[in-house]
Amino acid sequence: MIGPFSGSELLIILLIVLIVLGPRATRDLVRSLGRAVREFNKAMDEALGREEKKE
């Protein structure tokens, strides 16, 4: 359970988003959200003085 939503409710919401926006827009939305999270984590690591992970 994430916040006030259960797993099945999240699945229904994601399905509606896919139908309304279409597969291309949904893919772009998820990709940009991933980039934003990655940049946020990078900025937090830099602010806290952590070393960058080499993978």
| Whole-number Å distance between alpha carbons of 21 and 29 | 10
**pLDDT attached to residue 40:** 94
| Whole-number Å distance between alpha carbons of 26 and 33 | 11
Q: What are phi and psi of 53, to 5 degrees?
A: -80, 135
**pLDDT attached to residue 7:** 85
**pLDDT attached to residue 32:** 94
In the predicted model, is pLDDT for residue 5 greater than 90?
A: no
Note the pLDDT tens digit of each residue in 13-41: 889 988 998 988 888 988 999 999 999 99
| Whole-number Å distance between alpha carbons of 16 and 26 | 11
The pTM of this model reads: 0.58
In angstroms, what CA-CA distances link 2 with 6, 9, 30, 44, 54?
6, 10, 18, 23, 31
The residue among 53 and 50 whose pLDDT is bigger is 50
**pLDDT attached to residue 12:** 92
